[in-house]
Amino acid sequence: MQTIKVADIISNTRDIVREDPGFARTYIEENALILSRLTRANPALRQQAEAIVAEGRRQLRQGPRHAPPA
């Protein structure tokens, strides 16, 4: 079940950062907290999700022109 949540974070984070930066600020922080508690998830997927969340934070700090392509 934890691996499914991690996959969901991976799947949604880039789109949310690009499409709704206002909501993404909350979404990113909530998911960073969730990831810290998903200790039984697939380690490789968890690491990927953590990297995507970190990249989302970076993009939100830089502004919308740095959003990833679709």
At 53 the pLDDT is 97
State pLDDT tens for residues 51-68.
999 999 999 998 755 555
What's CA 51's distance to the chain center, in Å? 8
Q: Give the position of tokens 């998911």.
A: 31
| Residue 42: domain span | 2-64
Looking at the 3D structure of the chain, how many domains does it have? 1
Residue 50 lies in a domain: yes
pTM of the model: 0.85
Q: Which residues contact 5 (CB under 8 A, 6 or more apart)?
A: 34, 38, 41
At 1 the pLDDT is 93
Residue 37 lies in a domain: yes
Q: Which residues contact 18 (CB under 8 A, 6 or more apart)?
A: 67, 68, 70
Q: Two tokens at 39?
A: 């200790």
At 65 the pLDDT is 58
Helices and strands per DSSP (H, E), number in the chain: 3, 0
Residue 69 lies in a domain: no
State pLDDT tens for residues 12-60.
999 999 999 999 999 999 999 999 999 999 999 999 999 999 999 999 9
